[in-house]
Structures are given as C-alpha cells and as structure tokens.
A and B are shown apart, each in its own frame.
Chain A
Amino acid sequence: MQLTGAQALIKSLEMQGVEVMFGLPGGAILPVYDPILDSSIRHVLVRHEQGAGHMAEGYALATGRPGVAIVTSGPGATNIVTALSNAYMDSTPLVVVTGQVPTAAIGTDAFQECDITGVTMGITKHNWLVQSAQDIPDVVASAFHIATTGRPGPVLIDVPKDVSFAPMEWYWPDTLDLPGYRVPGPPGRGEIDAALALIAAAERPVIYAGGGLLKARAAEVLRAFAERTGFPVVTTLMARGVFPDSHPQCLGMPGMHGNYTAVTAMQRADLLIALGARFDDRVTGRVDAFAPDAKILHVDIDRAELHKVRHADVAIAGDCKVVIDALMRAAAPALRRADSVLASAWWEELRRTQREFPLHYEPADGPPVKPQMVVETLRDLSPEDTIVASGVGQHQMWASQYWRFDHPYTWVNSGGAGTMGFAVPAAIGAKVGRPDRTVWAIDGDGCFQMTAQELVTAAAERIPIKVAILNNAYLGMVRQWQEMFYGERYSEVYLSPDLPDYVKWAEAMGAVGIRAESPDEVAPAIEKANAIDDRPVVVDFRTDAFEKVYPMVPAGASNDDIVLHPAHDGRVR
C-alpha cells in the first residue's frame, strides 16, 4: 500500500493506540494536518504550543499513557520547548511531532527554520530528524518505545515538509533496531539479599518514595511492602498519591516545604529506602548534612541516578515494581514483624513529632481568605478521586500540603522544572484523559496569567476543568524569599488583585467566573463550581498576600535548620 509520509505518520500514531493529540498547525506541518481529517485520533486545537505540550503532559500524568503533541516548525517548535524541558525533568512520556522546512532548505535560514533537534538535544530522551518517508513507521515505533520504557521521557520527531509529501510503501515493523538502548532487567539474588540485610538491620528506617514508583505503577506493591515491614513512608512532591496520605504509616511530603515529621524522620533515619527517587536538592537540603546517619538502599531504573548525589550502600538498577516484588517474594523470616516495628521507639518518636508539629496556619474570620483554608475546603467538598493540577509557587506547596492524596495519578504537577503556567493546560490534558473525573487546577495569579488562554481551548472543546486561583496579588513565592532572605526588599513581585479582572476574563474565554473574597464565600463558590459540568469554571479566591509557606528549609541550608511556622517556633524539639 502506497501512502504519503504524512499519511504514514498519522497511521503510525493510530497503530500506537493514540486517541488524542494536542497541537496547532502551520506551514511545515500542513501536509500532516490533512490526513488528521480522516483519522480516528481526536485533535485538540490549542491557543499556544506551550499549552499543547503541557496538555500532553497532563494527559500522560493522569493516564500513564504517552501524551502526543504536534506543532509546526520554527516558532511552533520553540514554543513547545518549555514543555519538553518540563517533561524531561519529570520523566513524563511525551511524543512531540514538529514540522520542519523541506530537506533541501535545511541549513539555509529558510522561513520558519529552526534546528529543533539541536535545540532539544539536552531536554529529550532522544530525537529524530526524519530523512526519508520510508523511515516513518520505524521512527514512530521507536519513539513510543523509548518514551515509555525504562525511565520514561519526552521524545521529538522532526519531519521535513518534503518527507511528509514523499510516497512510501506502508509497513509496520515487528522489531526495532536499537542496539544502544537498554533497560535494566530483574535484580540479581545477591542484590536482593543485600537489600534485605539492610532492611533487617534497620532500627530507624524510612521509605523515601519517589515519582519513579508512579511510573512503574507500583502503588500496590509499595503499600504491601510498607505494611509488611511496618516502615514509615514519605512521598516526595513527585510521588504524592502513590501511598495514601490517610494511611497511618504515611508521614507526608519531605523537602524544602515538607512536613516537619517527614523532614526530621529522614534526618534521623538509619536507613533510607529510596524507591524511584533521585535525592533532589529540594529534598536533601545541603547534601553533606542530609540524613547523616542513614545507610542508603537505592532502587532506580536509571542507573545514572545511583550514587549520583549520595553514595548508596546497596544500589539496584531496576524497575521499582519488579524490585519490590522480588523483595517481597524473598522476604525473609529475618524481617521483624510489622506490628513490632510499629510498636518500636522509632514510631513512638515519629508519632510524638506528628502530634507536636502538624502543618499549621492561623485561620481567619474575615477577608482576606487564608489560602490553606481554600485548599482544605476544596479537598473536603470535591469527589474523593478528584485530580488536582497545580502551577508553581506558594499555591503549589499549599496544594501538596493540604490536599489529602489517597490515590495514585491524582496529582498533576511540575516538579523538577517548576514551570509557572503548567496548571491550566495540564488540567485540560488530564481531563481529556480522564473525562470521568473532576479536575481542579489550583493556580497562582501569576501562573494563571502565563497560560490562561488555554481556557478558550477548554471552552471550545467542552473540556470542563475547574480553576481555583489563589489570588494573593503577588508572585508570592518570590515575595516570600524577598521577605525572609532579602530584608523585606520587594523587587518586582506585586501583581495587583484586580488587574486583570479574573471573573470578566474567565467569562470572555467562555468559562464561568466566580469570586470569593471572604471565608464564608469559599464553600459556596466551590459548591457552585463543582455543580458545573458543561464548561470550564474559574474561581478567583482573594487570599492573604502575607501568608508564607511553612515549614521551610532555606535554600542551601541543612534540613536540620528547618524553619517552622512562628506559632510552633521556639518549642522544644
């Protein structure tokens, strides 16, 4: 069967089971947009290509399937670079197709030419400049294989316009020739024994659960492992939901704005079991002061993460689910019973810290609204399996702290890159992937202004997401740093609460706009928003600009120097 390169590209995406792609056409990708008309694949027309990338990410994070985006050459391609970088940092499987100028024009500074494979070399797991239409099925199959296996990540396929037009003889490959691509196999017996020996000897163990567990779809085995051992679990920003917050063994989030108990438990641990976590600086604080007495058992599918930041006493390169399964199977009479661990002095100490230093804020009776109270009310009034997307800043930390994450794949967040503007498009992508779920974006006023135009996409495509703007009229997180570390010298952080008018703006974009200015307006606004299911909703919560995120480990400080809420500070620890 003869097809054009463009037809072969769309057919290859269909062969991969793609149900939706997010994109925006232009000259170099035009030939590929024609067969989209005849395809079973849904196309969501975005208003900015960054939105296409984040939507694909939100889709992938909520469903576990790779997100697909398609854009034109030059500015179309560069507009999606932020999303590629974000997906690379968070190991999110994406396949991005870009148009390219015709092969003969490459290198001539042709109209809308950009060396996008060069630009994205360092922020994709791999990329391809397709040289011939005949290669397309092979490249697409390789792209999906690489994006979704091992440590997942974004890949990019750059398709010159003449390649899209060129004829090819259709085939679908049975094998891929990737001689340099390897994924670790199952762990060896020796590694499992060494891991079990560490586990058996631990007096003050902590399971340090990272985002890799979600990629490995290992929530169930993690829970079985935690319950078998009786060990406490911290879930990183990337792993929120992989272990239920309401589980008695969950200590919550560690790191710069982590729970006091999660942070100090790691500091005092004699064994950290790092599962799909990478000792990020936001978790470790000053590395040489991090968990000084802990032995490290590190499991990660990416060998390069082992020993990268912290030397591991036992390092296992492998899929978290497979390795935990192997540990459970081998486990060991040597391991203590969970109930004896739960009755240990270690747990007693942890329970005491949890009681003494819970998350804390001072509620308010009148305006402005406390941002933490908005998150708590949202949590209590929304369905249990609601998906929460977030921007980057104070609101993100409050969302992570005050939401109760009891299910995997309900937290859609920009962790490694910290990309402002992630929430709205990522929520749209999540809702497209999980139309059965309520999807709330908890956004900052600053973030919202970066990508709000995608609400037009949501309205036009009938993707009824909900957006809670924690409108503190500031680039709040930056303001917090200036207050705490720059002697209250506020430089370029004020935004204004009512410029823009978020309600009018929402309405202009085809969404419902609601405002809540005082605490008693919060619950009714949320209930009203939750009742709307035919269009997007934006709620403008006027929140307290002076509220800061606590606890906080100042950048570059040791986790031992964690700063508590002033109401807790000064108490004996």
Chain B
Amino acid sequence: MTDARGSGGGGGRVAGVPAVRHHILTVLVENKAGVLARVAGLFSRRGYNIFSLAVAPTDDDRFSRLTIVVDVESAPLEQIVQQLDKLVNVVTISELAPSDAVQRELLLATVEAEPAARSQVIQLVGVFGGEVLDVGATRLTVMLAGPPDKLDGFEGLLETYEVVDLQRTGLVALPKIDREPPPRRRLSAVASAPVQVPAPTAG
C-alpha cells in the first residue's frame, strides 16, 4: 500500500522554513491545460502554502514534472498526496526526503554596484562559483545555481550591496544515486495502461 509517512524529518533546509516541516514532492502530470490549478487547489483549499513550485516538460512532451516544496505536517501531507494521486491528470507522485535528494535552485540578482564596489561583487560571485550575466554602468546582474542553503548564504552576503531585483526559481530535485533501499519512495504506480472501452451498449 502507498504511504507518504516517514520522510518528514529530513535534513535539508530552505530559507526561513524549519526543516522538520519541509517536504519535497515531485509530481509527474499530463501536460494539459488546468493541471496546475487542480494541483494547487488541493493545497489552497486546506489553507496550506506552497513554498516553491517548479514546472517544466519532461523528455516526453506528453508529461510535465512539478517539484513542489511545501510546508505542512506529515499527516496532512499524506492526505494531500492521496488526494493528488486521485487527480486524473496526475501520473505519479514521489516524496523526496531532503537528505536523500540532490537539490538545485537558480538565483538571479541585479545589484547596484558603483565601479568601486563592482569588483567586490564580481569576486563574491567568483567565490561562490556563480556567473556575471549582465553589466551596466552602475549595475550587475549575477547568477548562482546550487543547493538552496548555498543560495541562502549568497543572498545574505549580497544584501551588503543594494539588491535591485532578486529572483529564485524554487528547487528541483532528483534522488541521490546508489542508495539502498532506493531513497525515492514511489507513492503511486507507474502510468496505467490504456483503458479498454467496453463494447457500445446502444446504437
């Protein structure tokens, strides 16, 4: 039987959220209009906030993958997962324990940096392994990809300068390789086979 319990106490941490309530769901959905609203509705009707959400088509363009980071106790999460699983357009759901997942997020920031400060910012970006994407007379746009806690650290240091704009993508995650038993707990079976339509009952 499916069961979403057990991974709630994971170790990862995303800015401002106590790790203990933090859950990562990866949800494979059919690439159809309205799917996002159906998924989001299950959280919003219970008053739960989605902390971050990343969506993109998979290698098979009939499907998209959502990575949802949500701030919920384990028990209600289990109920939400079961309800998600009932959505006709939801194909599979997995919960990733943050400690068992490879997580990445992308941060873009435009920083006010007078020529004097500019080299300091560039140096900071270099230390973190980021990139400078755009340079203006008094501003820089920089980028950093990494685990969420690294982005938190970088973001904190950037605050020393005047941050004009900052955008994070929300994380995407995959299970770590070579774990036994597999860290990725599949909460629902693989896509079901096509349904046979019964013979017509009337003409």
Contacts and interface: CB of A to CB of B under 8 A. Distances in A.
A145 B192 CA distance: 14
From DSSP, what is the main secondary structure of chain A's interface residues?
Answer: loop
A173 B197 contact: yes
Interface stretch (A120-128, A269-277, A279-287, A561-569): A120-128
A176 interface: yes
B contact residues, range = 20 to 34
Interface in B70-97: 78-79, 82-83, 85-91
A129 B32 CA distance: 11
Nearest to B5: A307
B37 A118 contact: yes
A141 interface: yes
Interface stretch (A177-185, A424-432, A481-489): A177-185
Interface stretch (A14-22, A46-54, A220-228): A14-22
Interface residues of A, number: 37
A329 interface: no
A146 interface: yes
B115 interface: no
From DSSP, what is the main secondary structure of chain B's interface residues?
Answer: loop
Interface in A1-21: 14-19
Given A15-B202, A129-B34, A304 B88 contact: no
A16 B29 contact: no
B167 interface: no
Contact of A40 (B90, B189, B195, B202): B202
A179 B30 contact: yes
A122 B194 CA distance: 25
Nearest to B29: A180
A56 interface: no
A172 B89 CA distance: 22
Contacts, number: 87
Given A15-B200, A125-B88, A174-B196, A182 B188 contact: yes
A122 B41 contact: yes
Contacts of B45: 122
Contacts of A195: none
A105 to B, nearest CB: 17
A157 B166 CA distance: 42
Given A121-B37, A122-B45, A308-B79, A175 B91 contact: no
Interface string A12-40: 00111111000000000000000000001
A178 B88 contact: yes
Contact of A303 (B85, B89, B192): B85
Contacts of B201: 15-17
B86 A304 contact: yes
